[in-house]
Amino acid sequence: MEAYNIIKGTLFLVLLVTGIPGNLLISSVFFFAFITRIPLLLTEIIIFKITIINLLLILTRGLPVTLFLVFDLKNLFGDNGCKVIMYLARVSRAMAICSTCILVCIQCIILSPSSSRLFALKMKLSHYTLIAFNFVLILNMATEIGPPVFTTSELNSTDLEYTFYFGYCVVNFRDYITIMTSLFTLVSRDAIFVVMMASASANIMVMLLRHSKQIKRVKKDIKSTKNSAEIKAAKTVVILASLYVIFIGFETTILLYQVTVSRRIHPIVSDVRHFFSVCYASVFPSVVVISNKRIQSCAKCLF
- The residues with which 171 forms a beta bridge, in sequence order, are 151, 164
Structure confidence at residue 39 (pLDDT): 82
Domain ranges of the chain: 73-283
Structure confidence at residue 223 (pLDDT): 45
297: helix, strand or coil: helix
Structure confidence at residue 222 (pLDDT): 41
As assigned by CATH, the class of the 73-283 domain is mainly alpha
Structure confidence at residue 299 (pLDDT): 66
Find the DSSP H helices in 36-145. 42-57, 63-69, 78-111, 125-143
pLDDT tens-digit profile of 170-216? Answer: 888 878 888 888 888 888 888 899 999 999 999 888 888 876 656 55
- b/e sequence 87-118, b meaning 16+ C-beta within 10 Å: bbbbbbbbbbbbbbbbbbbbbbbbbbeeeeeb
Please identify every stretch of the chain with a pLDDT value under 70, giving residue numbers as ranges.
Answer: 1, 72, 115-116, 118-119, 157-160, 211-230, 258-259, 261-267, 299-303
Structure confidence at residue 225 (pLDDT): 47
Structure confidence at residue 303 (pLDDT): 57
Residue type, 9: G
Which pTM value belongs to this model?
Answer: 0.87
State how far the alpha carbon of 10 is from the alpha carbons of 6, 59, 70, 93, 228, in Å. Answer: 6, 16, 7, 22, 41
Distance CA 75, CA 89 (A): 18
